[in-house]
Amino acid sequence: MALAAASRGLLHAGSRLGRREVVDGARRFANKRVLVETEDTSGIAVMKFKNPPVNSLSLEFLTEFVISLEKLENDKTFRGVILTSDLPGIFSAGLDLREMYGRNPAHYTEYWKAVQELWLRLYLSKLVLVSAINGASPAGGCLMALTCDYRIMADNPKYTIGLNESLLGIVAPFWLKDNFVNTIGHRAAERALQLGMLFPPAEALKLGVVDEVVPEDQIHSKVRSVMVKWLAVPDHSRQLTKSMMRKATADNLLKQREADIQNFVSFISRDSIQKSLHVYLEKLKQKRG
Amino acid sequence: MALAAASRGLLHAGSRLGRREVVDGARRFANKRVLVETEDTSGIAVMKFKNPPVNSLSLEFLTEFVISLEKLENDKTFRGVILTSDLPGIFSAGLDLREMYGRNPAHYTEYWKAVQELWLRLYLSKLVLVSAINGASPAGGCLMALTCDYRIMADNPKYTIGLNESLLGIVAPFWLKDNFVNTIGHRAAERALQLGMLFPPAEALKLGVVDEVVPEDQIHSKVRSVMVKWLAVPDHSRQLTKSMMRKATADNLLKQREADIQNFVSFISRDSIQKSLHVYLEKLKQKRG
Amino acid sequence: MALAAASRGLLHAGSRLGRREVVDGARRFANKRVLVETEDTSGIAVMKFKNPPVNSLSLEFLTEFVISLEKLENDKTFRGVILTSDLPGIFSAGLDLREMYGRNPAHYTEYWKAVQELWLRLYLSKLVLVSAINGASPAGGCLMALTCDYRIMADNPKYTIGLNESLLGIVAPFWLKDNFVNTIGHRAAERALQLGMLFPPAEALKLGVVDEVVPEDQIHSKVRSVMVKWLAVPDHSRQLTKSMMRKATADNLLKQREADIQNFVSFISRDSIQKSLHVYLEKLKQKRG
């Protein structure tokens, strides 16, 4: 059975996580933090982030997500995946700062490898990926959206999307920068990254951070109709085309993956950075009361 | 006499094809498939595609086209060339699928080399190239337009332009992809290439696939006035600037030309691809029936 | 004292040029051709070009400018610099053709090295650079603007900005081309560079050559409020981000700096180019009476 196919590579240890249920006539492949809803007939699966309170990309979330994605990737039933959030008002708040604060270098190494893995798997996915951005999507939330083939955002001015790392005192990794430059161009990326800009839907659309903005209650029907259009293209030529467009950017990370990890670990271990993260985390705690 | 100058290189065998006539006071350099109209005073030549029914880029068309272009290139009388179609409603339908179906590897090799040669000669031309896109322009038709310094399209919603290879089950070559990315940016190219999108004039303009859209009956006067503006720039600085902009992209093909040919020949020889082309050609036959 | 810190490197010979005055409560660091106005409290310095009649980038101007910039760069008091003109109606007319005409190769070498140095220091500056383009800004004037983090132009249709080298029979250097492509994209840059286009404010804004156009009498207040926004970002993450965005482009020059100088010297020494410059300079003389 394809869904049960053993996952390979880095994250094989997690292959026991999956449980299968049948809910409302659809197969549901439920982990704790990523709900996978599938329909056999359409070839479409939906991955719903459910990691309260804000879908932070914790190490556990990343591990489950990549395993779930790999299963879909290896199951010929599925040709397209919709990424969306199961939590109201938040797509994903991005990297989990608690994984980056007060831990040891071995932990930082493991965490950053998992972040790289998430991006690589998504960016190079053979599946059609469409994101239904139904909530705020800063930093790592924006990262997941940027890897998709098409991005649809709910038209709610409270939601913003962007790479705001610089405002937190940190820097987006070069491969995410490359992905961003590919998406909105060099100049717009340079400005947005330096200023740590978060864009409401209308501005995100104008700049090309997202491809379409729709009323919030229509986002799931819209994302489905867009997916149908993408699935009308023969898989093999679409996949070869996608690979041709993205290979150079992904190779840029693959050929210096270790150096990128070392760079992250040494940066995040600095006293000044740990101090900034401490201040920020304390603020968050107070805010959440 | 410059127009009769022997053509060099790959395509020298075709140098006997040219016949010259005088028509309506203009010199006309007529092959079977490419009409070349020249005016001594303006420095402008017009190359009109005439390969019925749809200006397919057959091996013969490619050979004649490159020879004609080279003659203009070597004749100091000419500084600019207008590319347009002599057939109503079609600029060019692109590559000739009959050259890619049911032949042997030697033929595929010869054909792909000629396609590469067409692109290289156009993309690196010292002449100012302006296209008057007066009809549909999918795939290889779009390729020719993309090599130009300026693209003007007739405002007829029946005409579309784009690289629709993925819908035919094939993939645009990487160097055409590079040319496309240079023209409309990475994101727009990624989406358009994956979906095999063909754009009507207004959308093509908005995306930057073409530079200007004009009423169909004004396209030839417009293209001429645009050419005059380009010819106001000194040739030597314009040519050096053009080369600076395009050299890296062209070198990308030149340094792996053989590998690109091998890649094409092995791809097109696959049973699955041959089968797809067969189905498509049968459909075309019935349609034209 | 930081402002008096010895300047390093290529241009150390100029370190005696600076004189300091106190004017209107602000420190003013006055050379002959570049006025530097500083306010200790805001962290902002203003560099005003004052090289009549048209702020040409003479060798002396370049030398003074780079020394002044380096002093600001080395003084931790300052985090942002505003570039603007002290002369009415002209931001900068660009390279000084008199440095490129009728001199010897040693002079051309020295001059081009200083032009490269200007661009490198500006493009890689750790400071936030914002330009208040309050006058015409062709060629080298545009070069200075393009290195900034943000560009604001006065809304006066008499002012134009762009790289018009090709119309003068010369060619923009490849590194300025790279900077231009990063700013407005490959296609727009290819067209603008080939045609030597100069854009009035509205077109410059549309194309992305500048980021904002404001009424002429508001440009200095606007540039200041923009600077405040940029200075809200922590310096260290902003600087790392800026470096990540620009390093590859700057390295492209750094690794072939000598070849670029040789190329310039041999090009500018050609009889044909010297003749063109002579004709152009004579025209300018007559025009200025």
Label residue C2 by pLDDT band (50, 70, 90).
very low
User: Can you list the residues of chain A whose pLDDT is less than 70?
Assistant: 1-31, 40, 289
Closest by Cα among A99, A109, A182 to A140: A99
pLDDT per residue over C78-123, tens digit each? Answer: 999 999 999 999 999 999 999 999 999 999 999 999 999 999 999 9
pLDDT at B29: 60
**A102 touches B at CB < 8 Å:** no
- Is C208 an annotated catalytic residue? no
Q: Taking a contact as any Cβ pair under 8 Å apart, which residues of chain A between 233 and 272 contact chain C?
A: 272
- State whether B168 and A237 contact (CB < 8 Å): yes
Q: Where are the alpha helices (DSSP H) in B124-199?
A: 140-146, 174-184, 186-195
User: Tens digit of pLDDT for each residue in C56-76?
Assistant: 999 999 999 999 999 999 999
C164 is catalytic: yes
Tens-digit pLDDT profile for residues C129-139: 999 999 999 99
Q: In what order do the strands lie in the sheet with B135-138?
A: B89-90, B135-138, B161-162
pLDDT at C245: 98
Q: Is the pLDDT of residue C252 over 90?
A: yes
Q: Which residues pair with A34 in a beta bridge?
A: A49
**C168 and chain A: CB distance < 8 Å anywhere?**
no
Lowest mean pLDDT among A25-29, B217-221, B285-289: A25-29
Tell whether the model's pLDDT for residue C18 goes beyond 80: no
Round to whole Å and give the CA distance between C176 and A247. Answer: 28
Strand, helix or coil at C95?
strand
Question: Would you state the pLDDT for residue A159?
Answer: 98
Question: Does residue C7 register a pLDDT over 80?
Answer: no
Task: Delimit the domains of chain C by residue range.
Answer: 2-219+226-288
**Mean pLDDT calculated for residue range C155-171:** 95
Residue B205 confidence (pLDDT): 98
Q: What angle do CA C166, C167, C171 make, to 5 degrees?
A: 20
3-state SS string for chain A:
CHHHCCCCHHHHHHHHCCEEEEECCEEEEECCCEEEEECCCCCEEEEEECCCCCCEECHHHHHHHHHHHHHHHHCCCCCEEEEEECCCEECCCEECHHHCCCCCHHHHHHHHHHHHHHHHHHHCCCCEEEEEECEEEECHHHHHHHCCCEEEEECCCCCCEECCHHHHCCCCCHHHHHHHHHHHCHHHHHHHHHHCCEECHHHHHHHCCCCEEECHHHHHHHHHHHHHHHHCCCHHHHHHHHHHHHHHHHHHHHCCHHHHHHHHHHHHHCHHHHHHHHHHHHHHHHHHC
Report the gap between the CA of A176 and the closest CA in chain C (Å): 11
> Which chain A residues are Cβ-neighbours of C234 within 8 angstroms?
166-167, 169
Contact C167 B244 (CB under 8 A): no
What's the pLDDT at B32? 87
- Whether C156 is catalytic is no
List of chains touching C (3+ CB pairs within 8 A): A, B
Superfamily of domain B2-219+226-288, CATH level 4: 2-enoyl-CoA Hydratase; Chain A, domain 1 (3.90.226.10)
Q: Is B25 a catalytic residue?
A: no
Average pLDDT over residues B75-101: 97
CA distance A163 to chain C (A): 11
Quote the minimal CA–CA distance from A65 to chain C in Å: 29
* pLDDT score of B41: 85
Q: Are A261 and A184 in contact (CB under 8 A)?
A: no
Mutate one of B241, B242, B249, B252 to test the C interface: name it (highest C CB count within 10 A). Answer: B241
Cβ of residue A183 closer than 8 Å to a chain B Cβ: yes
pLDDT value at position C9?
Answer: 31
What pLDDT was estimated at residue A28? Answer: 61
Q: What residue type is A137 in one-letter code?
A: S
Strand locations in C86-174 (E): 89-90, 94-95, 128-133, 135-138, 150-154, 161-162
A166 in contact with chain C, both atoms CB, cutoff 8 A: yes
Q: What is the pLDDT of residue B15?
A: 36
Quote the CA–CA distance of C171 and B237 in Å, as a whole number: 6
Under the banding of pLDDT at 50, 70 and 90, the label for residue C147 is very high
- Average pLDDT of the residues of chain B: 90
Please give the ipTM for the structure prediction. 0.90
Chain C residue numbers touching A170 (CB-CB < 8 A):
237
Q: Do A185 and B185 touch (CB under 8 A)?
A: yes
- With an 8 Å Cβ cutoff, are C242 and A168 in contact? no
Contact assignment for B237 to C170 by CB distance below 8 Å: yes
**Cα–chain center distance at C185:** 20
Marked catalytic residue, from C35, C72, C95, C193: C95
Q: Which residues of B touch A242 (CB under 8 A)?
A: 190, 194
pLDDT at A26: 57
Instruction: Give residue-wise pLDDT tens across range B135-191.
Output: 999 999 999 999 999 999 999 999 999 999 999 899 999 999 999 999 999 999 999
**Overall average pLDDT of the B73-100 stretch:** 97
Contacts of A234 in chain B (CB under 8 A): 166-167, 169
Chain mean pLDDT for chain C: 90
**What pairs with residue C34 in β-bridges?**
C49
